[in-house]
Amino acid sequence: MPTKPKRGCATWGCPNLAEGGGVYCLECASKLGLDADSRSYGDKSAEAVANDKWYNSTAWRKLRRSYIERYPLCADCLKRGKITPAKVVDHIVPVLQGGDKFSEDNLQSLCQSCHERKSMAEGSRGFNKKGRKVYTY
């Protein structure tokens, strides 16, 4: 039976490949405390599951609502001289990478397009084999 193709590790900036249908390379999986059998999206780490639940919390929804009311335009589009309504409140440094959940210094309003571009750049597909960023936004 053929094996699944290797893909980039989901850890930000990691140039290694994940094997066997996993999301993380073996090195990052061990750093995250995941065993070889629980490296896929279906078996998220306890930290990732807790993070998902936090985004559905009342505290986050209130913070998000108040932030987007104060900053209704996409920050990235504004830097390029374009006016676009923001749809997403984004953590500049992702929470799973140590970013502060509640600090407004770590938040920015983005349109859906800019948020998707940023998310791709933060994932492994945003880096070449030498770990250099290839997406710009």
Quick: pLDDT tens for 5-45.
777 877 777 888 877 667 777 787 777 666 555 545 454 55
Residue 128 pLDDT:
45
**Residue position matching structure tokens 């279906």:** 42
Residue 135 pLDDT:
44
Q: Name the band, by pLDDT with cuts 50, 70 and 90, for residue 49.
A: low
Q: Which DSSP letter does residue 65 get?
A: H
For each of the domains in the chain, give its residue range(s) and CATH number, in order of start: 1-41 (no CATH), 57-127 (1.10.30)
For the segment 60-109, what is each residue's pLDDT rounded down to a tens digit?
899 999 999 999 999 999 999 999 999 999 988 887 778 888 899 999 99
Of the two residues 119 and 2, the one the predictor is more confident about is: 119
**Residue position matching structure tokens 């930290």:** 47
Of the two residues 9 and 49, the one the predictor is more confident about is: 9
Q: Name the band, by pLDDT with cuts 50, 70 and 90, for residue 46.
A: low
Contact assessment for residue 21 and residue 4, using Cβ atoms and an 8 Å cutoff:
yes
**Strand, helix or coil at 136?**
coil
Cα distance between residue 100 and residue 94, in whole Å: 8
Distance between alpha carbon 117 and the CA centroid of its chain, in Å? 10
pTM of the model: 0.56
CA angle 65, 69, 73 (to 5 degrees): 115
Q: Name the band, by pLDDT with cuts 50, 70 and 90, for residue 4.
A: low
